[in-house]
């Protein structure tokens, strides 16, 4: 069905978007009304493209559950044991909790997510099956990428076999975590990830918390394997704290390799840890994206699933104040054009802000979220009569 969304603001003017088959067909300055088609009046609210959360965990959080007290992080193996114990006490099912977080994300305007999903020989494909079901349920409104994630360590937990099962059953990417700190076998861990990625024609996304030169060495291996296996554009390193711990001179070759092999860096903007220097990445031409990561889980009680909030945190932490910097920050949380384009999928949200930079600074609530032209969050509104009479 054809839909008209009227009085959407961008570039300082009001526009009408005509939408058909989920895509924007026409963009005209607001002037008159067409009563023959379904109409939504944006009443001058600002157009923003919907958001992409490139690093989340649908299977770890406690949303919808009674509050669970946490313990301070001690070591990674101890934390992994604690997480398993916590997750075994959940009252709601994995399916229910995956949907709770996805709905929260949709309400904030996130229509694309990359979720890591735990797999290991003990839990098997239980988490993956729940997330595959959710992906099917949300297929009309949300793009869901699934990373098979050997949280207990790919080699350490003997997870190569179950990773193959996960990739055979619908996971899109090969995950991994701390090849030194957890697996204690950097080369063979990275090699195993890329062998899986080649066998199943899958992307790669590695959780890397390793510090300093150890982290840099690991990233250099990742870019080497990306080159060898021709996986350019399909590999990411999440967190990469090490890129915030070494000097630009020390990282120069690593940055060049990241750009040349088109390996992207994904950050959750940690406040209490080092993070990659974004300007250095951008100057080097490296792709950079954001994810919310932990949201009220065994690792952190914080987080609200709002990627606009996350980008605003990055901008504030980085001391960015200019319009150019604030607009740039928005590009890390969307995979769409900042203003509507004819022929693009009609994925956008409406907020009460003057422009993108104002929205970045004020984090307004989402008044409406449209996915493929369908209003998925917010009140259905019809054209107000005051506007018609003018």
Q: Which of residues 256-295 bind Zn ion (CB under 5 A)?
A: 293
Q: Which of residues 289-328 bind Zn ion (CB under 5 A)?
A: 293
Nearer to Zn ion by Cβ, of 293 and 306: the residue is: 293
Count the neighbouring beta carbons within 10 Å of the beta carbon of residue 245.
Answer: 20
Task: Count residues near Zn ion (CB under 5 A).
Answer: 1
**Closest residue to Zn ion: CB criterion:** 293
Count the neighbouring beta carbons within 10 Å of the beta carbon of residue 214.
Answer: 15
Q: How far is the CB of 207 from Zn ion (least distance, A)?
A: 5
Query: Are 106 and 56 spatial neighbours (Cβ–Cβ below 8 Å)?
Result: no
Nearer to Zn ion by Cβ, of 60 and 336: the residue is: 60
Q: Which of residues 141-180 bind Zn ion (CB under 5 A)?
A: none
Nearer to Zn ion by Cβ, of 49 and 176: the residue is: 176
Q: How far is the CB of 235 from Zn ion (least distance, A)?
A: 16
Longest CA–CA separation in the chain, Å: 72
Q: How far is the CB of 36 from Zn ion (least distance, A)?
A: 48
Nearer to Zn ion by Cβ, of 120 and 293: the residue is: 293
At 324, list the tokens. Answer: 């150019």
Indicate the burial class of 247 (C-beta count within 10 angstroms; 0-12, 13-18, 19 or more).
exposed
* Residues written for the chain: 390
Q: Which residues, other chains included, contact 161 with Cβ-Cβ below 8 Å and sequence gap of 6+?
A: 121
Q: How far is the CB of 59 from Zn ion (least distance, A)?
A: 11
Q: How far is the CB of 383 from Zn ion (least distance, A)?
A: 44
Nearer to Zn ion by Cβ, of 293 and 347: the residue is: 293
Per-residue HEC secondary structure of 265-304 comes to EEECCCCCCCCCCHHHHHHHCCCEEECCECCCCCCCCCCC
Q: How many helices (H) and strands (E) does the chain have?
A: 12, 16
Q: How far is the CB of 208 from Zn ion (least distance, A)?
A: 11
Q: How far is the CB of 57 from Zn ion (least distance, A)?
A: 6
Nearer to Zn ion by Cβ, of 16 and 297: the residue is: 297
Nearer to Zn ion by Cβ, of 261 and 293: the residue is: 293
Mutual orientation of helices 212-229 and 186-199 as an angle, nearest 10°?
30
Q: By C-alpha distance, which of 173, 184, 114 is closest to 148?
A: 173
Query: Are 177 and 207 spatial neighbours (Cβ–Cβ below 8 Å)?
Result: yes
- Give the footprint of Zn ion on this chain (CB under 5 A): 293
């Amino acid at each position: 069905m054809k839909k008209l969304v009227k009085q959407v603001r961008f570039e300082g003017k009001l526009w009408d978007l005509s939408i058909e088959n989920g895509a924007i067909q026409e963009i005209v300055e607001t002037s008159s009304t067409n009563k023959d088609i379904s109409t939504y009046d944006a009443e001058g609210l600002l157009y923003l493209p919907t958001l992409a959360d490139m690093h989340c965990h649908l299977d770890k959080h406690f949303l919808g559950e009674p509050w669970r007290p946490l313990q301070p992080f001690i070591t990674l193996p101890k934390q992994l044991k604690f997480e398993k114990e916590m997750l075994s006490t959940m009252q709601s099912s994995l399916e229910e909790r995956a949907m709770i977080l996805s709905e929260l994300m949709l309400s904030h305007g996130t229509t694309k997510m990359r979720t890591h999903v735990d797999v290991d020989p003990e839990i098997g494909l239980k988490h993956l099956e729940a997330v595959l079901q959710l992906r099917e349920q949300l297929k009309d409104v949300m793009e869901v990428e699934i990373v098979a994630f050997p949280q207990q360590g790919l080699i350490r937990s003997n997870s190569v076999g179950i990773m193959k099962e996960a990739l055979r059953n619908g996971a899109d990417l090969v995950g991994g975590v701390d090849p030194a700190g957890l697996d204690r076998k950097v080369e063979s861990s990275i090699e195993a990830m890329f062998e899986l990625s080649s066998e199943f024609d899958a992307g790669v996304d590695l959780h890397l918390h390793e510090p300093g030169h150890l982290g840099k060495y690991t990233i250099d291996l990742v870019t080497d394997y990306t080159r060898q296996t021709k996986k350019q554009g399909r590999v990411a390193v999440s967190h990469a704290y090490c890129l915030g711990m070494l000097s630009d001179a020390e990282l120069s070759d690593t940055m060049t390799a990241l750009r040349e092999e088109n390996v992207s860096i994904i950050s959750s903007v940690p406040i209490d840890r080092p993070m990659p220097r974004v300007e250095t990445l951008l100057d080097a031409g490296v792709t950079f994206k954001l994810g919310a990561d932990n949201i009220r889980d065994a690792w952190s009680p914080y987080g609200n699933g709002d990627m606009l909030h996350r980008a605003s945190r990055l901008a504030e932490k980085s001391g960015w104040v200019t319009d150019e910097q604030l607009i740039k920050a928005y590009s890390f949380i969307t995979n769409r054009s900042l203003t509507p384009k004819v022929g693009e999928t009609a994925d956008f949200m409406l907020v009460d802000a003057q422009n993108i930079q104002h929205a970045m600074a004020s984090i307004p609530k989402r008044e409406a979220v449209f996915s493929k032209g369908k209003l998925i969050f917010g009140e259905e509104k019809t054209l107000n009569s005051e506007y018609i009479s003018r």
